[in-house]
Amino acid sequence: MKAARYHAHDRPLEIEEVADPVLRLGAVTVRVTACFVSPTMASVMASADPPPLPPAPFVPGMNVLGEVLEVAADVPGLAPGTPVFCDPLVRSTNPGAPIDSAFAGYFGFTAASRDILARWPDGGFAGRAVFPAECVTPLGTAASVDPAMLTRLGHLGTAYGAFARGGFAPGQTVAVTGATGILGVSTVLLALAMGAGRVVAAGRRAETLDRLVALDPARVVAAGYDSIPAGVDLVVDAVGRVPGPEPTLAAIAALRWGGNAVLVGGVAGDLPLRYGALLGREIGVMGSVWFDRAAPAVILGMIGSGHLDLSALRADSYPIEQANEAMAAAAASDRPDGFTHVAVVPD
């Protein structure tokens, strides 16, 4: 099969013919139809000091859409021909082992992640891929949607995980900081689909904020980081890797008594939070990295039923032969706003 493979940080991905992946117990082989390209992938692949990576050479690529080709004998409930989403997050499964996780085909979070990455090194920049069965979710009623569009499920799922962790309920006011990026736009869309009473989209790109308001002018309001209105029930902080915490702190200050802030972005600095303010207002501040295994099926059901409308989004697709160009396009400083993402789509 054809694949784009990482060999070293100082070399571009190499387009190669490699052997098809081998099915193993507890796993599923899929024919890849689309794979998300993270805006951070180019910098991670080029870094001389990256987070833990799979042993080279490996096939990068996360958030894989595909069609089941083979199912291991010990895997029930999946059949060849089924269109599926493959969650890249692989977790340690032994309750007695240290809790750890890694994104297959991308990176891990600690040194212990290397064991997971050695077992599941490859992602979706290839014609075929193998995933643990617990990572695979049938598309169901969303099967007719463009697979390249559905590669955004990682971001939609991240937003869903934040809502679950923050105790979201329909009718509440949600403030999304970093609202103009891919994660921010995805969070606004999901908040609307899940019945938020009001969504405060906070960011710096006025044109993108206007587009967010246009999604539902009766419920979405735009705000700068210095003008987030008070009375927010839930903050989803999707601000990217900025050096200062000021946008996040402004959103936390806008929370009502008993509100929650969930951090899903990449702020580089620490948060100087006042103990007394958190205590007196009973505010919760928590982190959320990804989502649970049930989330993709819920989100796909919302998409398939029309409750989660993706029509405002665009996916720019590249063939495997242009995987390096796809990474550059995803990382470009002048790339389109968070309504657009990049996918690799095998022939």
Q: What is the pLDDT of residue 230?
A: 97
Element holding 35 (H helix, E strand): strand 27-37
The fold adopted by the segment(s) 2-152+313-344 is Quinone Oxidoreductase; Chain A, domain 1 (3.90.180)
Q: What is the pLDDT of residue 268?
A: 84
Buried b (16+ CB within 10 A) or exposed e, 31-70: bbbbbbbbbbbbebbeeeeeebbbeebbbbbbbbbbbbbb
Of the candidates 238, 225, 235, 236, the one whose C-alpha atom is nearest the C-alpha of residue 265 is 238
CA distance linking residue 68 with residue 90, whole number of Å: 19
User: What residues of the chain score a pLDDT lower than 50?
Assistant: none
What is residue 200's three-state secondary structure? strand
Q: What is the pLDDT of residue 242?
A: 82
What are the tokens at 51?
């987070």
Give the residue extent of every domain in the chain.
Answer: 2-152+313-344, 155-287
CA distance linking residue 150 with residue 130, whole number of Å: 19
DSSP class of 108: B
Q: What is the pLDDT of residue 269?
A: 84
What is residue 341's three-state secondary structure? strand
At 215-266, the pLDDT tens digits run 999 999 999 999 999 999 999 999 988 888 999 999 999 999 999 999 999 8
Residue 8 sits at φ, ψ, to 5 deg, of -160, 155
At 193-206, the pLDDT tens digits run 999 999 999 999 99
| 195 touches 184 (CB < 8 A) | no
CATH class for the domain made up of 155-287: alpha beta
Q: What is the pLDDT of residue 241?
A: 81
